[in-house]
Structure 1
Amino acid sequence: MNIKITGTGSYIPANIEKNEEFFNNEFLNSDGSTINAPNEVIVKKFKAITGIEERRYAKKHLNTSDIASFAAEKAIEDAKINREDLDYIIVAHNYGDIRHDSIQSDTVPSIASRVKHLLRIKNPKCVAYDILFGCPGWVEATIQANAFIKSGIAKKCLVIGAETLSRMIDPHDRDSMIYSDGAGAVVLESTNDEGGIITHNTATYAFDEAHFIYFGETYKQETNEDRRYIKMYGRKIYEFALTNVPLAMKSALDKSGIDIKDVKKILIHQANEKMDEAIVKRFYELYNLEMPEGIMPMSIGKLGNSSVATIPTLYNMILKGALENQEINKGDVIIFASVGAGMNINAIVYKQ
């Protein structure tokens, strides 16, 4: 028995927010002081570091559960299964449903229960639950689904990553330009086909690193509002990721027994283009090799960082021929890898 992804789907919001849209923002330092540079320079430097030139925001009437259900519908259709046969629906997210212009996150009922409701699934044996694991949430949910199927308690699982980060950003923080909205989904099944999930690896670093990504106040200190926004210590995250993600990927690959030269693609969480390139280069350096050209498909330039949605969306885009000069073929070995709040790291070695 092999556990494979038999269907994929994604939802990329229609609203495009280009870098130029931030020219009128009042960007401030973390202490509330004015940044001594015009916004055009700030945005240009941001693009050079992250690779992001535009990102997608969900329309005002749509919430995380809505766009999660859109991606799920496509994955179910792609897998050609009866939705009533699903044993689990696992939804990775971080902030729940945040209605436009609301300061509250709504997670009761769970996002997974809302998705099951929107999919109109009647079967009570289809268990729906959420996972909060930072940006690596979709990868970890996939690992959990794999365990359920491997143990025999499930045959089919729907795993979704969805987020509306545009509703959690401080307009006075330069990092707000990183984040975006989106959803990606897959169906996993036990099959007799070759390949599937071969090995995986997960770690949580919380002794000193737990609060590298956190909930914080706006940088505009005179603002009188009791609201929190997604914040991060970018330099600490960069150094942490560069040290630890390559090791997690190596651990998973070495456990698989597959030669690194047989890896065709690395689908890494799209957080920062330069950081991702540095991680994958460091990974190959661990084997005394240079990073192969085209090994790391990127979507961040047009889609931004949609957290848990980035990897399943990227995977779906490649399989459907929506990413130029990128393809994944049957028998290809790929690695999924992510890092994020917690601080959590994980990786999966997968054979298409």
Structure 2
Amino acid sequence: MGIKITGTGSYIPSYIEKNENFYNHQFLNADGSTIKNSNEVIVEKFKAITGIRERRYVTQDLSNSDIASFAAEKAIEDAKIDRETIDYIIVAHNYGDVLHNSEQSDTVPSIASRVKHLLKIKNPKCVGYDLLFGCPGWIEGVIQAKAFIASGIAKRCLVIGSETLSRVIDKHDRDSMIYSDGAGAAIIEQSDIEGGILAHESATFAFDEAHYIFFGETNDKQSKDKRRYIKMYGRKIYEFALSNVPKALKSCLDKSGVAIKDVKKILIHQANEKMDEAIVNRFYKLHNMKMPDGIMPMTINMLGNSSVATVPTLFDMILKGQVENQEIHKGDVIIFASVGAGMNINAIVYQY
């Protein structure tokens, strides 16, 4: 018996925002001062560090709850289940529904309630709630679903990670080029087949690290715009992640009882290509091993960083044959891992 993912779905927005589209932006330092380099140089340096050449944004008519429901529909169809039998809908996000040209985030009713409405689920015992856990939100939702099922409270859960970061970025901030939109979903339920979730690890570092990612004013100090935008201390996050995520991965793997040589894939939050490579390299160094080729699939180069959506969309795309030279087979042991605002870290060792 195991608690397994029995269906997956994702929504990748249709609009492609290429790096060249940022050449005409007015990028400024955090203090409002002018950046000396040309935008072409800024963009090229950005690509070298993050690996991002393009990202996806939702069209003006769509909201976060819309794309969350699109991914959910696909997961339900993939799992071949009756949607009325879902006990919990857990939606991980960070900014709610932010409509095009809106200055306000809307979270009442919850995104989960909106998704349930859009899915046309009538059963009142299907409980929907939102989960705010930074970029690791979808993985944390899967951990919570596992706890519900293991305790007997639920038999089947729908876990969604969905975000429209394009609606909360400061166009004067170089970091705005990182962020993107997307949604991924999974059905979690008890299975007669062995495997599924073998171990998990979660942690919140908030004593010094709580505000490494925050909401702040535009870099344009001449602007009268009082809206807040997603901001981060990139260097601090990089150092934090490299120091703490590899140890969390090792702890999770140790609890699972799986040997590192048996891990086939590590699906890590698509935050920054260089940072992710450094994290996984350090994880293998803790085992006195070299990072295997192809162990860490990446989609950030074409999809950007869509926060809670990166891991479930990556997983779904691999399963659907949409990531070149990447496959997951029955019985494979994989690791899901993420780090993000809070600062939160989590991981799951999973046998497919």
Q: TM-score range by the shorter chain?
A: over 0.9
Q: Deviations over 1:190-219 (max 9, x none)?
A: 011011000000000000000000000000
Structure 2: distance between partners of 1:73 and 1:323: 21
**Which secondary structure state, in structure 2, belongs to the residue aligned with residue 250 of structure 1?**
helix
The equivalent residue for 1:33 is: 33
Structure 2: distance between partners of 1:261 and 1:300: 26
The equivalent residue for 2:329 is: 329
Structure 1 residue 225: Cα displacement: 1.6
Structure 2: distance between partners of 1:226 and 1:166: 18
Give the TM-score taking structure 1 as reference length: 1.00
Structure 2 residue 196 is the aligned partner of structure 1 residue 230: no
Structure 1 residue 243: Cα displacement: 0.6
**Which secondary structure state, in structure 2, belongs to the residue aligned with residue 308 of structure 1?**
helix
Structure 2: distance between partners of 1:120 and 1:153: 23
The equivalent residue for 1:47 is: 47
Structure 2: distance between partners of 1:329 and 1:73: 24
The equivalent residue for 2:105 is: 105
Structure 1 residue 159: Cα displacement: 0.2
For the aligned residue pairs, the C-alpha RMSD in angstroms reads 0.3
Structure 2: distance between partners of 1:268 and 1:41: 28
Structure 2 residue 75 is the aligned partner of structure 1 residue 75: yes
Structure 1: distance between partners of 2:198 and 2:151: 15
Give the TM-score taking structure 2 as reference length: 1.00
Code of the residue aligned with 1:90 in structure 2: it is I
Q: Deviations over 1:306-335 (max 9, x none)?
A: 000000000000000000000000000000
Structure 2: distance between partners of 1:316 and 1:59: 22
- What runs of 5+ residues in structure 2 fail to find an aligned partner? none
**Which secondary structure state, in structure 1, belongs to the residue aligned with residue 267 of structure 2?**
strand
Structure 2: distance between partners of 1:40 and 1:105: 33
The equivalent residue for 2:19 is: 19
The equivalent residue for 1:219 is: 219
**Which secondary structure state, in structure 2, belongs to the residue aligned with residue 302 of structure 1?**
helix
Q: Deviations over 1:31-53 (max 9, x none)?
A: 10000010000000000000000
Code of the residue aligned with 1:129 in structure 2: it is Y
**Which secondary structure state, in structure 1, belongs to the residue aligned with residue 252 of structure 2?**
helix
Code of the residue aligned with 2:244 in structure 1: it is N
Structure 2 residue 150 is the aligned partner of structure 1 residue 162: no
Structure 2: distance between partners of 1:226 and 1:31: 16
**Which secondary structure state, in structure 1, belongs to the residue aligned with residue 170 of structure 2?**
coil
Runs of 4+ in 1 over 2 A off after TM superposition: none
**Which secondary structure state, in structure 2, belongs to the residue aligned with residue 185 of structure 1?**
strand
Structure 1 residue 248: Cα displacement: 0.6
Task: Report how many residues are paired.
Answer: 352
The equivalent residue for 1:181 is: 181
**Which secondary structure state, in structure 1, belongs to the residue aligned with residue 230 of structure 2?**
strand
**Identity across matched positions, percent:** 76
Structure 2: distance between partners of 1:152 and 1:137: 23
Q: How does 1:1-352 map to 2 (within 5 A)?
A: 1-352=1-352
Structure 1: distance between partners of 2:59 and 2:88: 28
Structure 2: distance between partners of 1:130 and 1:167: 19
